[in-house]
């Protein structure tokens, strides 16, 4: 009888257990969000595209959750008047612990869009991530980690 119950338990445990790679992952990948029409290449390296909103966090690898040093973080956003300009585009490389930090103007809502900042994150051995971050109204700082998928 005991042996019979063991045979019953094995399929049951397999059924209720999520896949190990998913269960052990504390870093689900950051979702894609639209690039939009205003992305430009060749933006200057800098840590300031305005004042009043500090954006910081880390770039990490999905699954292992390890930090990615030297990842290229690019951002672009509307200026306070609601137009995209070159002053509100920047790029930086993450530090040895995968962290990044920059200061910018709070992005305004425009048309029907809520305030948002566009991002592209590039890292060797990982898929390029295109996404947007939506800081809540009235925030002076936000922390956002970008989780990239390994190639």
- According to the binding rule CB under 5 A, does residue 82 interact with Fe ion? no
Q: Which is nearer to Fe ion, 36 or 70 (CB)?
A: 36
Residues 31 to 70 in contact with Fe ion, rule: CB under 5 A: 36
Distance CA 24, CA 19 (A): 9
Report d(CA 43, CA 120) in Å as an integer: 12
- 3-class secondary structure, 76: strand
Minimum distance, C-beta of residue 122 to Fe ion, in the bound complex (Å): 19
- Segment near Fe ion (CB under 5 A), from 12-20, 28-36, 57-65, 87-95? 28-36
Q: 66-102 in b/e burial notation, b at 16+ Cβ within 10 A?
A: ebbeebbbbbbbbbeeeebeeebbbbbebeeebebeb
Nearer to Fe ion, 36 or 52 (CB): 36
Q: What span, in angstroms and rounded, lies between the C-alpha atoms of 21 and 96?
A: 26
Cβ at position 137, least distance to Fe ion in Å: 16
At its nearest, how many Å lie between Fe ion and the CB of residue 116?
6
Q: Is residue 80 a contact residue for Fe ion (CB under 5 A)?
A: no
What span, in angstroms and rounded, lies between the C-alpha atoms of 22 and 148?
A: 15
Q: Is 114 in the site for Fe ion (CB under 5 A)?
A: no
- Cβ 150 to Fe ion, closest distance in Å? 28
Binding site for Fe ion (CB under 5 A): 36
């Amino acid at each position: 009888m005991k042996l019979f119950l063991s045979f019953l338990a094995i399929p049951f445990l397999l059924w209720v257990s999520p896949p190990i790679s998913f269960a052990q992952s504390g870093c689900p990948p950051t979702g894609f969000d639209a690039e939009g029409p205003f992305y430009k290449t060749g933006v200057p390296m800098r840590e300031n595209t305005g004042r009043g909103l500090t954006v910081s966090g880390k770039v990490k690898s999905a699954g292992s959750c390890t930090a990615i040093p030297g990842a290229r973080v690019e951002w672009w956003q509307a200026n306070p008047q609601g137009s995209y300009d070159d002053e509100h585009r920047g790029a930086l490389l993450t530090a040895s612990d995968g962290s990044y930090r920059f200061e910018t103007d709070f992005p305004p809502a425009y048309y029907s869009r809520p305030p948002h900042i566009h991002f592209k994150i590039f890292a060797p051995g990982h898929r390029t991530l295109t996404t947007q971050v939506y800081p809540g109204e009235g925030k002076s700082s936000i922390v956002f980690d970008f989780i990239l998928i390994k190639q």
